[in-house]
Amino acid sequence: MGIPLITIYLAADVGSIAGGWLSSSLLKRGWSLNAARKTTMLLCAVAVVPVMLVSRLGDNLWATVSVISLATAAHQGWSTNLFTLVSDLVPARAVGSVVGIGGTAGAVSGMLTSSLIGYWLDWSDGAYGVVFLSFGTMYLIALGIIHLLVPRFEPAEHPQPKGLL
């Protein structure tokens, strides 16, 4: 399992760099912040979709590694842009707090999701299809929610509190 695992982690590294490069490249070409970030996140979300097929690949190790590598690369490209959104939209003095709250929510969600997946696998006698189906759709759903909540990415403007430093 060493080489397949290394392959998956290296793909994640490439995705992290590529996600940042793509959105920055689009910004340098004159795209708006909104278009550059959302387009990059959409491409990453679409690139995760094939992970829904993993449970159908059977014993084909390298096909499975390839699909999971694509998904991990896309996940890292997505997360690179998601974390950057905070610094794009929130005043500098609040970035750490917002990222911390988001990280806490992510950790708690991961903890709960792990338990739910375990219960599902016990109940369904190891049917991973639904698990990978949800993995393949969550990024598209999340991007839809982001778009509903923040239709246009524009920096928030908050006045400096008076009387403090």
Instruction: Enumerate the domain spans of the chain.
Output: 2-91+129-149
The full DSSP string for 18-70 is HHHHHHHHHHHTT--HHHHHHHHHHHHHHHHGGGGGGGGSTT-HHHHHHHHHH
* % of the chain with per-residue pLDDT over 70: 95
Whether residue 31 has pLDDT greater than 80: yes
Residue with the two structure tokens 């778009």: 147
Give per-residue pLDDT as tens, 114-125: 999 999 999 999
Residue 161 DSSP code: P
Report the alpha-carbon distance of residue 65 to residue 163 in Å, rounded. Answer: 57
Closest CA to 113 of 129, 134, 127: 134
Give per-residue pLDDT as tens, 51-89: 999 989 989 999 999 999 999 999 999 999 998 988 898
Whether residue 147 has pLDDT greater than 90: yes
- Predicted pLDDT of residue 153: 84
Closest CA to 71 of 144, 140, 147: 140
As a whole number, mean pLDDT of residues 6-34 equals 96
- Predicted pLDDT of residue 92: 87
- Predicted pLDDT of residue 133: 93
Largest Cα–Cα separation, the chain: 66
Determine how many CB atoms are found less than 10 A away from the CB of residue 116: 12
Between vectors from CA 113 to CA 100 and to CA 76, what angle results, nearest 5°?
55
- Predicted pLDDT of residue 141: 97
Whether residue 161 has pLDDT greater than 70: no
Report the alpha-carbon distance of residue 90 to residue 88 in Å, rounded. Answer: 6
Determine how many CB atoms are found less than 10 A away from the CB of residue 1: 7
Within its chain, how far is the Cα of 75 from the centroid? 4
- Do 81 and 23 touch, CB atoms closer than 8 A? yes
